[in-house]
Amino acid sequence: MLNLKIIIATTREGRKGPAVAEWFHSIAATHTEFKVEMVDLATINLPMFDEPQHPVLRKYKYQHTKDWSAIVDDADAFVIVTAEYNYSFPASIKNALDYVYQEWNYKPVAFVSYGGLSGGIRSVQALKQVVNALKMVALADAVHIPSFKKRIDDHNVFTSDGHLDKSAGNMLTELNKWAVALKEMRSKTG
């Protein structure tokens, strides 16, 4: 069984990220090759990066970093559900990525983004550059949701359609391929 962590990237009060993530989680739960877990950065509540040592050394001073390290280490694959803030990624996800290093290495990551006309695509493009530095494999397949607000009702429930469900399913199939291959690679070469 492969551990898939769905990361909710935004943290502000009243955010819409959880609504989108709940929908994606419902699709991921049908992919039985994954044990799926939601990771909400608002709950994790990391402070602005405060470790004295470079994360590459994995010598953490603070308990919040050790806890975050354990969560990331446990994963075989990630899906980051993210908004676009000012044509880029929310600071909360960059901060969470910066905190640890080896724990991300040689693991696949896919993206679900939401936004206005852009569907959050610029956020994902910018994140790809960051995850590349962490030696992650960023999938070409992604789910971008333009004009996403139209899909969220007053109770914060996201309404999907066949096209989005299919995109999510295809992305998860690709993610599984990479997760299997990279898990084997990690077990053989560290």
Ligand X SMILES: Cc1cc2nc3c(=O)[nH]c(=O)nc-3n(C[C@H](O)[C@H](O)[C@H](O)COP(=O)(O)O)c2cc1C
Number of helical (H) and strand (E) elements in the chain, helices listed first: 6, 6
Tokens of residue 89, six digits: 């990624």
Nearer to ligand X, 2 or 164 (CB): 164
Closest listed residue to residue 7, CA positions, set 92, 115, 64:
92
Dihedral angle, C-alpha 13, 15, 18, 24, nearest 10 °: -170
Contacts 24+ apart (CB under 8 A), 127-130: 127/80, 127/82, 127/89, 127/93, 130/89, 130/94, 130/97
Nearer to ligand X, 107 or 144 (CB): 144
Least distance between ligand X and beta carbon 15 (Å): 4
Q: Is 161 helix (H, G, I), strand (E, B) or coil?
A: coil
Nearer to ligand X, 12 or 135 (CB): 12
For ligand X, the binding residues (CB under 6 A) are 10, 12, 15-17, 83-87, 115-116, 118
Least distance between ligand X and beta carbon 81 (Å): 8
Least distance between ligand X and beta carbon 61 (Å): 30
Tokens of residue 45, six digits: 């509540």
Least distance between ligand X and beta carbon 114 (Å): 7
Least distance between ligand X and beta carbon 39 (Å): 15
Nearer to ligand X, 83 or 100 (CB): 83
Nearer to ligand X, 55 or 115 (CB): 115
Closest residue to ligand X in the complex (CB): 115
Least distance between ligand X and beta carbon 79 (Å): 15
Nearer to ligand X, 43 or 86 (CB): 86
Tell me how far apart the alpha carbons of residues 9 and 152 are, in angstroms, rounded to a whole number. Answer: 18
Could you give phi then psi for residue 97, rounded to 5 degrees?
Answer: -70, -40
Could you give phi then psi for residue 146, rounded to 5 degrees?
Answer: -75, 160
